[in-house]
Amino acid sequence: MIKNQAVAAIIQHKNRILCVQRGVGQYPYISLKWEFPGGKVDVGETTKMALKREIFEELEMDILVEDEFLKVIHSYPDFTFSLHSFMCSCISPEFTLTEHLDFKWLLKEELLQLDWVEADVLIVEELMKLK
């Protein structure tokens, strides 16, 4: 059963995509892995509202949320959730890491060099297919 809805931002700037590295957390299978920034959708929020809020909380960055890219339903050993990813752009590429350990601005072709959280792998694979 799906308990949570989450959102992920595919933030693009000058043909590069922002990737962030998770810290050590409660679940070892997602600790220190790379992901698209985002988080949980709170009660009463739309997915786009949640994404703007999460990116501001995590990165102190304003983004323009554009089209939904891909919805993924993923089960980890301890939870199942639906992840809505959106294509986004940023007004300014400057930000502050408040929750993540590291970041990289990568070309689409470079995304596979990172060790991604499982839920984001399908998003990466679909991005690779874009022209």
**pLDDT per residue over 105-120, tens digit each?**
999 999 999 999 999 9
Closest CA to 92 of 131, 60, 46: 60
Q: List domains and CATH numbers for the chain.
A: 4-129 (3.90.79.10)
Closest CA to 88 of 69, 110, 108: 69
What is the pLDDT of the chain when averaged over all its residues? 95
**Do 123 and 70 meet the contact criterion of CB atoms below 8 Å apart?**
yes
| pLDDT at residue 78, rounded to an integer | 87
| pTM listed for this prediction | 0.95
Reading the block at residue 34, the tokens are 């790379």
